[in-house]
Chains A and B, each alone.
Chain A
Amino acid sequence: MRGAEAPVSDDRALLRAAAAGDAQAFEVFMTAHQAAVFRYLLSTTGDGVDVDDALQETFIAAWRGAAAFAGDTTARGWLYGIARNVVRHQLRRRVGEPTHVDSVEQLAEQAGWGCADPAETFGEATIARDLLSVAMSRLPQDECEILTLRELDGFTGEETAQLLQLSLPAMKSRLHRARIHLAAIVRVLDGPRNTTATGVAHG
């Protein structure tokens, strides 16, 4: 299952109870989301942020703000929005428009598009978890963040755009870049693969 979220209706009920002062309900909500929020915080932070502290601040703000949860987004999206604000506050830096040196096309070539060696083909084998973890950690913060939200936590494109305060086209552009960049890093880490080629299908 992508993400580990509790059912939406449960989350909303738990937040309503928390808003009425039910600390046990809030603890259930917190337990359901704490590991994923921690990972999200890791994906958004560079040096200078205490992720443990950011996690605590996120849930304290959620507890105090539970009554303000309006239900116009998912409870999980609301919680991640709080987490993002906590990190922004801690870093006191602008999030969203970092400078990138390589174009997506350059990254694609680094990832192996059009490689001249006919023996160098892409493998069908599942890419190792540890390799992917290292590759994710080497991405720029904004790209690691968007892949975490879309691919790991399973937020929709619209939810991700809302969380990141981006237009939908800008979100798609960043996501595309992040995917190709990850492929480039994996290739650097893993080297060319020499197994059977495979094709692409959409949907």
Chain B
Amino acid sequence: MVDQGLDTVVAGLRCRDVLADLSEYVDGQLNAERVSALQAHLGSCDRCSRFGGHVMNLLHSLRAGLAEPPALDDGSVRRLRDRLAAITAPA
């Protein structure tokens, strides 16, 4: 393998092409043939494998850490309810 950065070819795929497919790969959106090709690359390319792992970890951390929205402050809730009450009150 000759190191040509993102144009390095491992297991028949360029790193550039693996990077382009990374999101769909982690989302399980690729067909079986493409998944096999990417897995062959990732199995032999330390840079892509580590980077992919980092992105997976990032997404996991994001979903686990920030999924629950922070509660609205009392003032926002009160203003929202007051505004709604004004338009839903019977005439």
Chain B CB within 10 Å — which of A2, A63, A105, A200 has the most? A200
Instruction: From the candidates B6, B72, B80, B83, name the one contacting A114 in the complex (CB within 8 A).
Output: B6
B58-74 interface code vs A (CB 8 A; 1 in, 0 out): 11111111111111100
Complex interface: chain A residues within 8 A of B1 (CB): none
Say whether chain B's binding surface is mostly helix, strand, loop, or mixed.
helix
A163 at the interface (CB under 8 A from B): no
Tell me whether B53 and A198 are in contact (CB under 8 A). Answer: yes
A-B contacts counted at CB < 8 A amount to 173
Q: Name the distance in Å between A92's Cβ and chain B's nearest Cβ.
A: 22
Tell me whether B80 and A122 are in contact (CB under 8 A). Answer: no
A80 at the interface (CB under 8 A from B): no
The chain A residues found within 8 Å of chain B, CB to CB, are 1-4, 23, 26-27, 30, 34-36, 38-39, 52, 55-56, 59-60, 63-64, 104-105, 108, 111-114, 121-129, 132-133, 136, 147, 151-152, 154, 157, 172, 175-176, 179-180, 182-183, 186, 197-203
Q: Name the distance in Å between B87's Cβ and chain A's nearest Cβ.
A: 6
Q: List 13 A-B contacts (CB under 8 A).
A: A2-B67, A23-B84, A34-B72, A108-B51, A114-B15, A122-B51, A123-B57, A132-B61, A172-B24, A176-B23, A200-B22, A200-B51, A202-B30
Tell me whether B84 and A59 are in contact (CB under 8 A). Answer: yes
Instruction: Select from chain B the residue with minimum beta-carbon distance to A55.
Output: B80
Tell me whether B84 and A122 are in contact (CB under 8 A). Answer: no
Q: Bound complex: CA of A121 vs CA of B39, how far in Å?
A: 20
Tell me whether B19 and A108 are in contact (CB under 8 A). Answer: yes
Interface residues on B, range: 35 or more
Say whether chain A's binding surface is mostly helix, strand, loop, or mixed.
helix
Q: Which of B7-36 contact A (CB under 8 A)?
A: 15-16, 19-20, 22-30, 35
Q: Bound complex: CA of A125 vs CA of B61, how far in Å?
A: 9
Complex interface: chain B residues within 8 A of A1 (CB): 67-68
Tell me whether B55 and A60 are in contact (CB under 8 A). Answer: no
Instruction: Select from chain B the residue with minimum beta-carbon distance to A186.
Output: B58
Tell me whether A152 and B62 are in contact (CB under 8 A). Answer: yes
Complex interface: chain A residues within 8 A of B88 (CB): 23, 26, 63
Instruction: From the candidates A27, A112, A203, name the one contacting B84 in the complex (CB within 8 A).
Output: A27
Instruction: Select from chain A the residue with minimum beta-carbon distance to B35.
Output: A202
